[in-house]
């Protein structure tokens, strides 16, 4: 249950996916048709929506999860697990005769991964669920969503919310133009940005990509760039800002982007007077910490403070 001090904090509502991760660790990723011997197998909780919610919750955020899981053992266990982490699960629904979403993940020794997802109950998150949670969504200080659940459901929620609307446009797709004018912040990685702008995004042309995406109507665009940090720009300023992060030897990069988004949400609602480069830098650090440990949600830090730190950045 939320403690009183958590309840009094800004509301972070996550509308999105819950999945169970079946992860195999192997020396390298297999090529098509190849069978490899792995070194370890784990079962854990995942899904981009829940990952981001847990990342924010572990940092002390007042989080609410709007999602659908199956009425199988995994769905019931997942709901209880989220509740024990302090996430409000009053709008986490068990879906009859449907399996909980799953992700099949392979992780190589160098930290690279391959992921196949089966959406299951995530496909059943509808506008009706948004209507049931409309008061919560409308009053949320910040709402996060992704693209692992039906697009029209996310669009409906973003139209309702009066706070910060943070869209992580992942997995990548091109038909998201209708929601971009409702986005306070759009967060994408390089491949996702590339699909939106129709050219390969890299550091040499990232400013062009940011400017082009801003033309679609969102207020701020952040492109995460792995060990190179993140680059962002806002529609009211011409500057593109590159925020750096520490380089580490990764053990498992799975869920690092979700760690960034969840941390970003928490820090955006912490102190609105913090400059954006500080908030982005802190979110980069949380993501960096996560890749130094195996696992997804288990790798997210729960003891982190960035207020005394100064993150390096440059204007591009």
Is residue 76 annotated as involved in ligand binding?
A: no
- Catalytic annotation on 258? yes
Is residue 299 annotated as involved in ligand binding?
A: yes
Is residue 189 annotated as involved in ligand binding?
A: yes
Is residue 254 annotated as involved in ligand binding?
A: yes
Of the candidates 257, 258, 214, the residue with the CA atom closest to the CA atom of residue 233: 214
Is residue 17 annotated as involved in ligand binding?
A: no
Residue 158: C-alpha distances to residues 40, 91, 144, 179 (Å) = 40, 17, 9, 8
Is residue 257 annotated as involved in ligand binding?
A: yes
How far, in Å, CA of 147 to CA of 140, rounded?
20
Of the candidates 66, 230, 243, 33, the residue with the CA atom closest to the CA atom of residue 143: 66
How far, in Å, CA of 75 to CA of 68, rounded?
8
Is residue 128 annotated as involved in ligand binding?
A: no
Q: Tell me which of 72, 129, 141, 258 is the catalytic residue.
A: 258
Is residue 148 annotated as involved in ligand binding?
A: yes
Q: Which residues contact 206 (CB under 8 A, 6 or more apart)?
A: 223, 225, 231, 240, 242, 316
Is residue 20 annotated as involved in ligand binding?
A: yes
| Radius of gyration for the alpha carbons in the chain, expressed in angstroms and rounded | 18
Of the candidates 166, 148, 174, 147, the residue with the CA atom closest to the CA atom of residue 232: 166
Is residue 61 annotated as involved in ligand binding?
A: no
Q: Is the dihedral of CA 275, 281, 287, 293 positive or negative?
A: negative
Is residue 177 annotated as involved in ligand binding?
A: no
β pairing state of 11-15 and 62-70: parallel
Is residue 247 annotated as involved in ligand binding?
A: no
Is residue 21 annotated as involved in ligand binding?
A: yes
β pairing state of 113-118 and 142-145: unpaired
Q: Which residues contact 303 (CB under 8 A, 6 or more apart)?
A: none
Is residue 258 annotated as involved in ligand binding?
A: yes
Q: Which residues are annotated as a binding site for substrate?
A: 19-21, 47-51, 148, 258
Q: Which residues are annotated as a binding site for ATP?
A: 189, 224-229, 257-258
Q: Which residues are annotated as a binding site for K(+)?
A: 252, 254, 290, 293, 295, 299
Q: Which residues are annotated as a binding site?
A: 19-21, 47-51, 148, 189, 224-229, 252, 254, 257-258, 290, 293, 295, 299
Which positions are annotated as active-site residues?
A: 258
């Amino acid at each position: 249950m939320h403690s009183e001090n958590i309840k009094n904090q800004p509301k972070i509502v996550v509308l999105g996916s819950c999945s169970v991760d079946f992860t195999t660790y192997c020396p390298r990723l297999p090529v098509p048709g190849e069978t490899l011997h792995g070194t370890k197998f784990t079962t854990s909780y995942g899904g981009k929506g829940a990952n981001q919610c847990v990342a924010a919750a572990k940092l002390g955020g007042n989080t609410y999860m709007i999602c659908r899981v199956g009425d199988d053992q995994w769905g019931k266990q997942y709901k209880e697990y989220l509740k024990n982490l302090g996430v409000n699960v009053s709008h986490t629904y068990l879906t009859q005769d449907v399996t909980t979403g799953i992700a099949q993940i392979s992780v190589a020794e160098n930290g690279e991964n391959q992921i196949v997802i089966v959406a299951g109950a995530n496909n059943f998150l509808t506008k009706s669920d948004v209507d049931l949670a409309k008061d919560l969504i409308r009053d949320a200080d910040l709402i996060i969503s992704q693209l692992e659940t039906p697009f029209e459901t996310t669009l409906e929620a973003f139209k309702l919310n009066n706070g910060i609307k943070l869209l992580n446009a992942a997995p990548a797709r091109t038909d998201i133009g209708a929601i971009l004018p409702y986005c306070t912040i759009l967060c994408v990685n390089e491949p996702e940005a590339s699909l939106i702008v129709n050219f390969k995004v890299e550091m040499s042309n990232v400013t062009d990509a940011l400017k082009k995406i801003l033309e679609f109507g969102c207020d701020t665009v952040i492109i995460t760039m792995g060990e190179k940090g993140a680059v962002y720009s806002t529609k009211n300023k011409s500057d593109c800002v590159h925020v750096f992060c520490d380089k580490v030897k990764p053990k498992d990069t799975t869920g690092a982007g979700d760690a960034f988004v969840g941390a970003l949400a928490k820090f955006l609602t912490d102190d609105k007077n913090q400059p954006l480069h500080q908030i982005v830098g802190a979110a980069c650090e949380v993501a960096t910490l996560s890749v130094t440990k195996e696992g997804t949600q288990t790798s997210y830090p729960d003891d982190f403070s960035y207020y005394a730190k100064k993150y390096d950045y440059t204007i591009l």
